[in-house]
Amino acid sequence: MEDARQRDMDGTSRARQFVVYGMLGLLALLVLFPFYWLILSAFKSKEAIFAAPPQFYLRSLELGNFNEVFEQTRFFRSFFNSVFIAVLHCTLTLFLSSLAGYAFAVYPHAPGRERLFAFVLATMMIPGVVTLIPVFTILTKLQLVNTYTAMIVPGAANAFGIFWMRQSVQQHIHPDLLDAARIDGCSEFGLYWRIALPLLRPALAALGILVLIGNWNNLMWAFIVLRTDEMYTLPLMIYLLQGEMRTPYGQVMAASLLATLPLVIAFLLFQRQFIQGIAAGAIKS
């Protein structure tokens, strides 16, 4: 029996390995090709981008597209806006989620806890499209259209975040630990801030990444609430580079490459947390 299993694991090997690696290699190639094309186009001249037949390698390295992006658009301003908004939105979301999630986990006897938590879970089922117009109307009334606040605050009350953090607190923080600190005179907020938060770092990272991806790539909300080019985020700025008649594709590709790189680099560095974050986001419902 041991034999049969052995053969199944590596016995048929050669042919089977060839098929598996071949298929994976081919799929990886297909998936990565558009990125190759993005990089290539960013360094191509305008004529080369639309050359027929397509040019699969660089004839010459053109940095003109990047120069144009830096000179003719407010790229750095948009870059700053994107970073600023993403960082603040993430921080706010993580703070609200972890504080509430912590409370739901460590005060099991608080009256009404079950019902309040069920309510939080129920809010996850509300699709965003239903609240889009009222939220926009509220922001208009408060004169918050075209401000950072309009990009940072909506969506920060994240029910999934609370669910996720509550679970992490239950898994990683023993009540005895908190009791011990309480006896030493630590305040209730101090327990959360100094004892719980450091232990929750991995959970915070996973949730933070999930939130960050959504915020960094968000186009629709930016399109609705941002009005002037000094407020544009990268996705919006790139989208609006497209002209009615003619689109400067070289610039578009150069800006696109620069907007894609930060997350891709971060992903390559923190792969495990990224995949945890995404997998976590998927168990939402």
Partner 1 sequence: MGAKRRSLWAYRHFYLFISPFFILFAVLGLYPLVFSFVLSFARWDGLTEAHWVGLNNFVNLFGDELLREALWNTLVLGFLYVPPMLIGAFILACLLNTGWLRGRAFFRAAVFIPVITPMVVVALVFGLLYDYESGIFNYVLGLFGIAPVPWLVDEDWSKPALAILLVWRWTGYNMVLMLAGLQSISKEYYEAALLEGAGPLQRLRYITLPLMRPVFLFCGIMSLIGTVYMFDEIFVMTSGGPGASSLNIGLYLFNVSFVDFRFGYASTIAYTVAFFVFIATLFIFRFQRSEGN
Contact with partner 1 (CB under 8 A) among 118, 189, 198, 246: 189
- Give the number of other CB atoms < 10 A from CB of residue 156: 19
HSE of 226, CA atoms in CB hemisphere, 13 A:
26
Name residues contacting partner 1, limited to 119-148 (CB under 8 A): 120, 123, 125-138, 140
Which amino acid makes up residue 133?
I
**What is the total count of residues that contact partner 1 (CB under 8 A)?**
96
**By the rule CB under 8 A, 263 interacts with partner 1:** yes
46-84 burial, b for 16+ CB within 10 Å, e for fewer?
A: eebbeeeeeeeeeeeebeebbebbeeebbbeebbebbee
User: 5-64: which residues touch partner 1 (CB under 8 A)?
Assistant: 5, 8-10, 13, 17, 20, 23-24, 27-28, 30-35, 37-38, 41, 49-54
Asked if residue 259 binds partner 1 (CB under 8 A), the reply is yes
Cis bond upstream, residue 235 (ω within 30): no
Which listed range, 65-73, 172-180, 200-208, 252-260, lies at the site for partner 1 (CB under 8 A)? Answer: 252-260
CB of 256 to partner 1, least distance (A): 4
| Nearest distance in Å: CB 134, partner 1 | 3
CA gap 285, 281 in Å, rounded = 9
Instruction: Tell whether the torsion through CA atoms of 203, 205, 206 and 207 is positive or negative.
Output: positive
Q: Based on CB atoms, which residue is closest to partner 1, 31 or 61? A: 31
- Residues 90-119 binding partner 1 (CB under 8 A) are 96-97, 99-100, 102-104, 107, 109-111, 113, 116
Q: Which of 107, 158, 144, 132 is nearest to 221 (CA)?
A: 132
- 264 is a contact residue toward partner 1 (CB under 8 A): yes
153 is an interface residue for partner 1 by CB under 8 A: yes
The answer to whether residue 160 forms part of the interface with partner 1 (CB under 8 A) is no
Structure token pair of residue 284: 């939402």
Q: Does residue 245 interact with partner 1 by CB under 8 A?
A: no
Map tokens 């460590």 to a residue. 106
* Closest distance of CB 41 from partner 1, Å: 6
